[in-house]
A and B are shown apart, each in its own frame.
Chain A
């Protein structure tokens, strides 16, 4: 069982999180409120939320663990040099048009937008299926991370830890919908930023400062101070893969892009990427925990870790006062919660809006729509938690492959649908099927040892998906898509 101060910090954190959920539930009257937070969100909460959603359990547990083993390489290759670019790329390419098209054409979900862009129900169906597969896998992997975290915190079994976490997130997501989710994300982002700052203050003090930490790491291996290396750790191919997936491939992440629908006015998007990227820089400081701990091992003040994923928890034990440790643990839990709660709302919206309402043609009143959304939320939590109690290998693999799966499956079709007039429904359909399918197949071949590509399998699928979209669109007839801003065409350009 954790220190009473840590438990108290957590109790306060949970009361605030649940309170925001209850408060948000008051303004839930229909599915538009539930999925889009009534389109009344301001730029700061949307920016904070888009940052919190991207920073998952991997960011706060996996990356420090990798940094313990590989020094600067994971930090430079992922958040510092690549992932931060996602904010300017995704906002620059998609934010304004997505927000405009969503309001103009009544698109409430990503599959809705695909229907608006390509005017084809098959594209919408395939998109819905991709979102549900990816999100279920993603949710399970986040539940597992949360269960382990609560297990450490409460000194309970994994299952009890898992159920405590799920009840809290499920409660505020079911009650508060997207609004509760976004405000909670924003609050959790503040907690994560405080965690990032505290880590730097106490960590560098413990190892004698920034320079001393670097000198200690160099004693282990000089390559630990490089962004990538062919002799040790991450290769340049890994670096290129991270660029393709985390900088560019974020365009296909529905948990990120659905944020654009919720902002009150289009022009409020103006400073959102700057705010989001600034907070992302602050939370990136958290990754130093792994390097600081490794430097302390070299200096002989702490024992080496048996499992690198324990870098954060052992860092807290070794270097932090109890209150600060509670806050940093809360930050790590916040990272997982904010990601998984967004998935819950996106998945519930896909089930209610795209499958029940649009797919099955069932007309839902405001009250019924809201009820169905909440039932979908609860059902998704229950189903994914049952899988997470003893996750099969297949689901764990899917969770690991999910980022690449979304990038390759949805990214090219979404960007081309908005930014390339020549893209058509045939190209989009084949790109989604080929990209999503290849991301999974190549990943399974890799983990079963059948192939060993230098580039990440998700990145390969992403590139192939782009190529398929371009080639198929050019080889098939031009589709005049009404949702795009109009321009004058010559008669030979318009075939359909």
Chain B
């Protein structure tokens, strides 16, 4: 597609948007309030 090998096509049009979505997922899963609590090992 577009003269690109599959691995590059997938990188540009699947993984790149997926990584961007992860940043949006941070916002979606964010819990407001409880400022003094966070996960600690």
Contact = CB atoms under 8 A, between A and B. Distances in A.
Interface of A: 72, 76, 80-81, 84-85, 87-88, 91-92, 96-97, 100, 104, 210-212, 214-215, 218, 222, 225-227, 266-267, 269-271, 273-274, 276-278, 281, 418-422, 484-485
Given A80-B11, A218-B3, A88 B41 contact: no
A421 B41 contact: yes
Given A226-B7, A227-B8, A485-B40, A214 B2 contact: yes
Interface in B6-41: 7-8, 11-12, 15-16, 19-20, 22-27, 30, 32-33, 35-41
B24 to A, nearest CB: 4
B5 A226 contact: yes
Most buried by A among B22, B26, B27: B26
Task: Report whether over half of chain A's contact residues are helix, strand or loop; otherwise say mixed.
Answer: helix
28 contacts: A76-B11, A80-B16, A81-B16, A85-B19, A87-B23, A88-B22, A88-B26, A91-B23, A100-B35, A100-B36, A212-B3, A226-B5, A226-B7, A267-B30, A267-B35, A270-B27, A270-B30, A274-B23, A274-B24, A277-B20, A277-B23, A278-B23, A418-B38, A418-B40, A419-B38, A419-B39, A485-B36, A485-B37
Contacts of B23: 84, 87-88, 91, 273-274, 276-278
Interface residues of B, number: 28
Contacts of B11: 76, 80-81, 227
Nearest to A269: B30
In this complex, the member of B4, B16, B23, B30 whose beta carbon has the largest number of chain A beta carbons within 10 angstroms is B23
Top 5 A-B pairs ranked by shortest CB distance? A214-B3, A277-B23, A270-B30, A273-B23, A274-B24
A211 B2 contact: yes
Contacts of A87: 23
Contacts of B4: 214, 225
Given A81-B11, A226-B5, A274-B24, 19 more contacts: A84-B16, A84-B20, A88-B19, A88-B22, A96-B35, A100-B36, A218-B3, A225-B4, A226-B8, A227-B7, A267-B30, A270-B32, A273-B26, A274-B20, A274-B26, A277-B19, A277-B20, A418-B40, A422-B41
Given A80-B12, A226-B7, A266 B35 contact: yes
A449 to B, nearest CB: 33
